[in-house]
Structure 1
Amino acid sequence: MHIQARSTLRAVLAAALLAAGGAIAWLAQADAPPPVPTPSLDGIALAAPGAAAVTIPSAPAAWGGVRTGDHATLSDRVVSYRIEATLDPDKHLVKGRQALTWRNRSAVPVRSVYVHLYMNAFEGAGSTFFTEQRHRGEGFRSGVDIGDGEWGHILLSSVRQGAASVPWRFVQPDGGPATDHTVARFDLPEAVAPGASTTLDIDFTTQLPRVIARTGYFGSFHLVAQWFPKIAVLELPGERGATAPRWNAHEFHMESEFYADFGSYDVSLTVPKGYTVGATGELQGAPSEKNGMVTRRYVQHDVHDFAWTADKRSAPPLVETWTGPGSPTVTVQVLYPPEYEASAKPAMKAAKDSLTYFSRTLGPYPYRTLTVVIPPYNAEEAGGMEYPTFITASGHLDVAKNSLDEYMLEGVTIHEFGHGYFYGILASNEFEEPMLDEGLNEYWDGRMLRERGQQAHPMPAFFKRIGIDPVFDPFDITRATSPRDRPADAPGQNAWQRLQGIGPVYTRTALVMRDLEERIGREAMERGFKEYYRRWKFRHPSVADLREALADGSGERAAVEDVFAKQIYAVSRVDDRVATIESEEVLPLAGTRLENGKRIEETQAALDARIAKARKDWEKANPNAKEGSGPYPFRTQVTVRREGASVPQTLVVRFADGSSETVAWQGDEKWRTFSWVKPAKAVSAELDPRRSHYLDVNKLDDSRTLVADRSASTRWASDAMAFVQLLFSFIATV
């Protein structure tokens, strides 16, 4: 997973492997006791530190109601940012001036606002980010560390509301260490009346860190994200379970991401001449040059973040266009360093294919640009990330057909593009409900990879040359890296209070959705997700809103509610198996019986002779009969066991004459025996013949045969060996 950050496939596998081993998370401890919180000036509360999956659907008018296309703007623009920023690439410093205009949507005056200062997560070891990293005993994804002189921070040098200076203080909404400075409260000199707006003029300096997680620099490469003061979201009653106005602001946790209002960004970026720049949004006019510095202005409406990159080593960008029904013409560019030239065209193809697939299966892509950035060697921690209209992928020196590098590059590009929908357009709260982004996106891009016929070929070239080339389907990889036997955390849990880390948010959510699709059908699932997109694009859905959209759109409410109750709001082990299979001839039995009014006795010897004669006569009359058939019927009994949550199961029993019996096993019973009397002996019994339940702990015990069959164990042993090799190849490259 992105061990926090992004779910590049490599990261998904590594982190989910840790999750399956039971990695222990930081349990809300702190290096020092936090100060007693000071009440805000207006009494508006903060969201609870442990807030997680919402159970009550949002009100119909939440976030201004469904965006039907009849509105003047795509989103209800709550905030606007006008920023002028200058990069000093030698000091890795960004100096910025920002006019932040925020509209009070509530019915009460607002005196205190909360602002995220994400870059302070990298200012020192006392931040919540690094405190959690120490308690977990692991680094971010590949574990690159910050060295001396490589820390980052954001410094506010001036905050004004009109002519008045704005006092502010650091706060820790989640009870983290007092040394965490990723959230600040601004106490406004003048209250913002209901429906009114205010502008905060902020001068700031951002020191970029050496890139160890999502953002920063390496050499001349700069990935500038989480870099400016960003206002938190004021939620109103009926929005994501709120019953009164509340500020939704959380510290920057190691395994959490972001949540912000939709708005407009007008950003002017000044960098030295010779640097290639890519950014969120559309370039306005021609760049202007002065004193060896070049200024470019980017504008993008109806998004909730802004990121950019600058590098003097970049190769000339690869630029193409894409068109699709309901979408504007999209200019797609790939920025890459010279060493990763082989990755540029595959990344471009994957990006354009993603535009086609997501537009068709969810809804049209609404923006005019898409920038894909491939970070240089030694800056891969900036890869596998997403921002509106701007994503980062992974670089490879060679992208041979059917190689693991090809799978990784295309898989990561598709995954990060998909975030443009589940994180971008469907702007869920990644702090409290990360499954709505990471999990749903992992599922949807798995569907795309499956539809493309994309498979992972993990073996090195030498083994392929001698004929050893096992392949893995996308959801098989997801299943192999998801904790199934002892899952600890519900997918709906928040990002930071998790025993097994963030990995299962990706993998287990994807499997839950994949199994739901198997249960209700592909078309029903797609109808449900299209309804989710229709209702919640350019708004902020909750888990409850997803549940309702899927139930209504698919027409399968009972199945959807059952799955959400057992596998989203809770976490339940699934473990069904075939316990026994028996199939015996129903032969005449020794003893006495009434015949023509008289009781007669047939001795065992006489009975054996009668049975032998019947068999001989039958074989003479049926010379080509298959083994397992004869003059007497067979009684077959199959017992199935359930050691976890109930799921709708199908049992198929096959017989020697080629016939079969199929029965449904439903309900909460822990076992059941099914019986048949048929003219042929049973050969095998199999649960889940369509492999509908990927959450099941062990698929090897789903079937039994009456005669020992080594083919399954041989195949699975080969798969296991290949998967071990897959893991080793990942370890070698992180």
Structure 2
Amino acid sequence: MYMKVRITFLLVLALLATSPLNAQEGNDSTVQEAFLPYETGPGTSYRSASGAPGEAYWQNSADYEMDVRLHPEEHKVTNSVTIYYTNNSPRALEFIWLKLDQNLFDKESWGAKLTPHTGSRFGNRNFDGGITIDDITVRQAGEGYEPETRSMGTNMKVDLKDPLSAKGGEVTLRIDYSFVIPDYGSDRLGRLETKKGMIYEVAQWYPRVAVYDDVQGWNIRPYLGAGEFYMDYGSFDYQITAPSDYVVVASGALQNPQEVLTPGQQARWEKAQNSDERVYIISPEEVGTEASRPRHSKRLTWKYSIENARDIAWAASRAFIWDAARINLPGEDQSLAMSVYPVESAGDTAWSRSTEYVKGSIEFYSDYLKKYPYPTAVNVAGTVGGMEYPGIVFCSWKATEAGLWGVTDHEFGHIWFPMIVGSNEREHAWMDEGFNTFINRLSTQHFNEGEYYRETDARVLNDWLNSEDHESIMTAPDQIQPGNLGAVAYNKPAVGLHMLRNSILGREAFDEAFNEYLDRWAYKHPTPDDFFNTMENVSGRELDWFWRGWFEKTWTMDQAVDSVRYVEGDPSQGALISISNNDKLVMPVVMKITQENGQTEVIELPVQVWHRGDHWTTQYPSTSKIRRVEMDPRREFPDVNPANNVWSSEK
């Protein structure tokens, strides 16, 4: 026996269709809607119809300076933040909207009131506290003043005395505020008590300027928990003052290691930057000892900076083991992988391998996609199950083995989507979670020769696709039904991208288009249409049927083999194989044909066989009787009714 693959192109099908024996059957199609043009809107000077930014594309920017203090005795953070905001839009702005995500944790917040009585991963768990603003000052055209403000949930409107001029107008805001770190902050931040002390993870924690863009103007969708964030890019220079026995890790480069590390730790820090093996900055035996921290004052100030980032986050504890290793990047560049975790999380099946995981993940994505852009990559063990920010991620302190690899790889995959490609997570969770879940599978297959890789196929979601719970990928995250977020935002879009890469476009065409999308929209704000149009224009394939059927609708796929007969009843003159598409979702056709003489062949037909209807008959050049025909033998497509995929002469 032998197997070969033959691709039957549309041109060949058109020629075959001239014969009555191969004419497409039936006009009562259920699939015609799939092939209607998918309207993505006309191009503008800001966004071209090809999916690329237009010649007049613009976006605003915000740079931040901060002076932060951690008060562990009160679990409190105080901060004085200065925001330098630039209006690059073609319109003057009469006001500015700020995001105050910490207000989610006020008991009167919308998020608290919308938490189901049964509780929720993103709900407010009986904590009362939001941002307390002590002072806000605007400086504009050399004049400082206290603005009129109005709060609306997790947003605050700041009225300007004079409109902020278009195409380069600048304004400065200074805000003094405080908040209490909740015990559990909607799986974004929180605090964890360990044997050696409290671990604080602090995120979505400072007033941030909302995005003003060419799509919606001010993006003011509130923070309710499930939707993450959408921010402009800028630089951050900030300092965090904490008790001297605390270690503080944060987004970006540590600017003053000589002030916050002992001489021995500084030497280990330098060694780690040139080592592919883990180097302890603070070993398990050193945690909590007098010698582990500089003691020249009661408090130490850690200074950090990061460029071209959407956000920053940080963590602090006296309980941290701290290790690090070099990340090798393309072009002989490098970054530094670091992990901080309590003694409870140490071990060769747990967080003692974290830095290895960080290094492996980032090196893969830097080769497959785009070079990692930040000087450090920090993995923090704490109460947060898994959350990402530029240069730093939070993962569960309980995670081990495949679970720890999976969450580490996933959170660092987010550096590319949405930290580099700055999509709107409040509206389109699939543009970061789905893309990231897709690349995670590739990374896991690559890491340590597939140590944690488990083969799956496109039918993994069949039960959900067939259920009443099935929702559209395009559903906004805060509207997705409870228990559905993983399927809607993560797994269904990831399965779709795998189909697109492996079975529709092919790996070479897909990778070229996918990387072009990343290059076009790096540090910019794409919409779904920008992604769809880029993939089509670069690959050279019309995919309206795919975007509609898989992303927009909740259609399902059911291909079937209906019958096999022979030309003039003679197998040596060819077999006539009739197939059908019984649901509205269309996909290409892959058939494995086995003859009685033992010859086995896989043939592929393009999705256009369903252009005119839901039945098709194709002529196969058989030389003996057909023993078996199987649709989708490699389980490449989400056929929800595989029972009718096989025709057998024995039946």
Q: What is the TM-score when the length of structure 1 is the normalising length?
A: 0.69
Residue of structure 2 aligned with 1:539, choices 495, 501, 524: 524
Q: CA deviation at 1:347?
A: 2.0
Q: Distance in 2 between matches of 1:301 and 1:528?
A: 27
Q: Distance in 2 between matches of 1:98 and 1:121?
A: 20
> Which residue in the other structure is 2:558 paired with?
575
Where in structure 1 are there 5+ consecutive unaligned residues?
A: 1-52, 68-74, 172-180, 398-404, 457-470, 588-628, 709-734
Q: CA deviation at 1:634?
A: 10
- CA 1:546–1:184 in 2, change beyond 3 Å: closer, same or farther? same
1:79 and 2:62 aligned: yes
Q: What is the TM-score when the length of structure 2 is the normalising length?
A: 0.78
Contact 1:168–1:184 (CA under 8 A) maintained in structure 2: yes
1:96 and 2:67 aligned: no
Q: Distance in 1 between matches of 2:112 and 2:459?
A: 30
> Which residue in the other structure is 1:657 paired with?
597
Contact 2:325–2:338 (CA under 8 A) maintained in structure 1: yes
Q: CA deviation at 1:212?
A: 4.4
Q: Deviations over 1:52-83 (max 9, x none)?
A: x99347756569x989xxxxxxx977111111
Q: How many residues align?
A: 554
Residue of structure 1 aligned with 2:147, choices 150, 154, 166: 166
Q: Distance in 2 between matches of 1:85 and 1:483?
A: 48
- CA 1:84–1:477 in 2, change beyond 3 Å: closer, same or farther? farther
Residue of structure 2 aligned with 1:185, choices 157, 166, 188: 157
Residue of structure 1 aligned with 2:174, choices 184, 201, 211: 201
Q: Distance in 1 between matches of 2:576 and 2:418?
A: 53
> Which residue in the other structure is 2:247 paired with?
276
- Partner of 1:365: helix, strand, or coil? coil
Contact 1:519–1:692 (CA under 8 A) maintained in structure 2: no
Residue of structure 1 aligned with 2:465, choices 442, 467, 483: 483
1:129 and 2:136 aligned: no
- Partner of 2:230: helix, strand, or coil? coil
Contact 1:422–1:440 (CA under 8 A) maintained in structure 2: yes
Whichever residue aligns with residue 186 of structure 1, its letter is V
- Partner of 1:133: helix, strand, or coil? coil
> Which residue in the other structure is 1:19 paired with?
none
Q: CA deviation at 1:351?
A: 1.4
Q: Deviations over 1:13-59 (max 9, x none)?
A: xxxxxxxxxxxxxxxxxxxxxxxxxxxxxxxxxxxxxxxx9934775
Contact 2:192–2:200 (CA under 8 A) maintained in structure 1: yes
Within 5 Å, which residues of 2 pair with 1:293-312? Answer: 293-312=299-318
Q: Distance in 2 between matches of 1:189 and 1:583?
A: 83
- CA 1:529–1:663 in 2, change beyond 3 Å: closer, same or farther? closer
Contact 1:578–1:639 (CA under 8 A) maintained in structure 2: yes
Contact 1:584–1:681 (CA under 8 A) maintained in structure 2: no
> Which residue in the other structure is 1:415 paired with?
410
**Which structure has the bigger radius of gyration?**
1
Within 5 Å, which residues of 2 pair with 1:13-412? Answer: 55-56=40-41, 59=44, 78-124=61-107, 126-134=108-116, 137-140=118-121, 146-147=125-126, 150-162=127-139, 163-171=144-152, 181-194=153-166, 195-213=168-186, 214-219=188-193, 220-236=198-214, 241-242=215-216, 246-285=217-256, 286-287=258-259, 291-315=297-321, 317-326=322-331, 328-342=333-347, 343-375=350-382, 379=383, 382-396=384-398, 405-412=400-407
> Which residue in the other structure is 1:696 paired with?
639
- CA 1:542–1:307 in 2, change beyond 3 Å: closer, same or farther? same
Contact 1:581–1:639 (CA under 8 A) maintained in structure 2: no
Residue of structure 2 aligned with 1:513, choices 493, 497, 502: 497
Contact 1:57–1:544 (CA under 8 A) maintained in structure 2: no
- CA 1:701–1:677 in 2, change beyond 3 Å: closer, same or farther? same
Contact 2:459–2:639 (CA under 8 A) maintained in structure 1: no
> Which residue in the other structure is 1:529 paired with?
514
Whichever residue aligns with residue 205 of structure 1, its letter is S
Higher relative contact order (CA 8 A, sep 6+): 2
- CA 1:699–1:447 in 2, change beyond 3 Å: closer, same or farther? farther
Q: Distance in 1 between matches of 2:421 and 2:622?
A: 55
Contact 1:120–1:182 (CA under 8 A) maintained in structure 2: yes
> Which residue in the other structure is 1:614 paired with?
none
Q: CA deviation at 1:680?
A: 3.6
Q: Distance in 1 between matches of 2:423 and 2:169?
A: 25
Within 5 Å, which residues of 2 pair with 1:623-662? Answer: 638-660=578-600, 662=603
Contact 1:327–1:365 (CA under 8 A) maintained in structure 2: no
Q: Distance in 2 between matches of 1:490 and 1:479?
A: 13
Q: Deviations over 1:640-682 (max 9, x none)?
A: 4422322111223212211246463721522345576956443
Whichever residue aligns with residue 338 of structure 1, its letter is V
- CA 1:322–1:472 in 2, change beyond 3 Å: closer, same or farther? closer
- CA 1:656–1:282 in 2, change beyond 3 Å: closer, same or farther? same
